[in-house]
Amino acid sequence: MFGFLKQVGDYTREAVGAAQAMTQGLGVTFDHLRRRPVTVQYPYEKLIPSERYRGRIHYEFDKCIACEVCVRVCPINLPVVDWVMNKATKKKELRNYSIDFGVCIFCGNCVEYCPTNCLSMTEEYELAAFDRHSLNYDNVALGRLPTSVTTDPSVIPLRELAYLPKGEVDPHGVDPNRARAGQLPAQVLEGLPKPPAASEAAASSKGGADA
């Protein structure tokens, strides 16, 4: 009889222990259900770079005077300005211009000091490549217009930590009614300038042609 009661007692203790463990596990699960998302679903969602973000450099060949100021102010003398002297006109003729983004530290010195403003920092940050040598951009690659998170229709633009209230960095236990610090993707899109409708664009181009 005593042995039977002991078995029942042990069984009850184990059952209570298992129930406690399950409750703790489910507590973690339900805590996650109350959290707000903080991850960015890249590449479908992308963070909007800050206004002064220093991304891939854009270069305008036609404005470059081959002065090589960009080379002199670069901490690693990186830009390659390929020019020849035209003896007839006694002027430099620019042949090619290149920057190797596998080496560039994106300090922005070249952009800052270029006398003709033919260099500019863009918000393009997706420079991954299988071959590091393909990061050596010539003047054609540098002249390509940069991609933009806010104008790419296939991407939902996000502001950093937009999902969390101001000053909040931990998503645990955040009251869902508290105001968010940033804008939701739909609000960001609402605030962007609308592209002109096809009919308006056609009308304006016709007006320009008439004038």
Binding site for ligand SF4 (CB under 6 A): 64-70, 74-76, 78-79, 81, 99, 104-110, 114-116, 118-119
Task: Give me the least distance between CB of 76 and ligand SF4, in Å please.
Answer: 6
Task: Give me the least distance between CB of 86 and ligand SF4, in Å please.
Answer: 16
How close are the terminal C-alpha atoms of the chain, in Å? Answer: 109
Taking the CB of residue 48, how many other CB atoms lie within 10 A of it?
Answer: 20
**Long-range pairs of 129-138 with CB within 8 A, sequence gap ≥ 24:** 132/102, 133/102, 135/100, 135/101, 135/102, 136/98, 136/99, 136/100, 136/101, 136/102, 137/56, 137/98, 137/99, 137/100, 137/101, 138/96, 138/97, 138/98
Task: Give me the least distance between CB of 41 and ligand SF4, in Å please.
Answer: 31
Which is closer to ligand SF4, CB of 48 or CB of 81? 81
Which is closer to ligand SF4, CB of 109 or CB of 136? 109
Task: Give me the least distance between CB of 91 and ligand SF4, in Å please.
Answer: 14
Which is closer to ligand SF4, CB of 142 or CB of 155? 142
Which is closer to ligand SF4, CB of 35 or CB of 63? 63
Task: Give me the least distance between CB of 73 and ligand SF4, in Å please.
Answer: 6
Residue 158 CA to residue 127 CA, distance in Å, equals 20
Which is closer to ligand SF4, CB of 104 or CB of 188? 104
Residue 148 CA to residue 56 CA, distance in Å, equals 12
SS3 46: strand
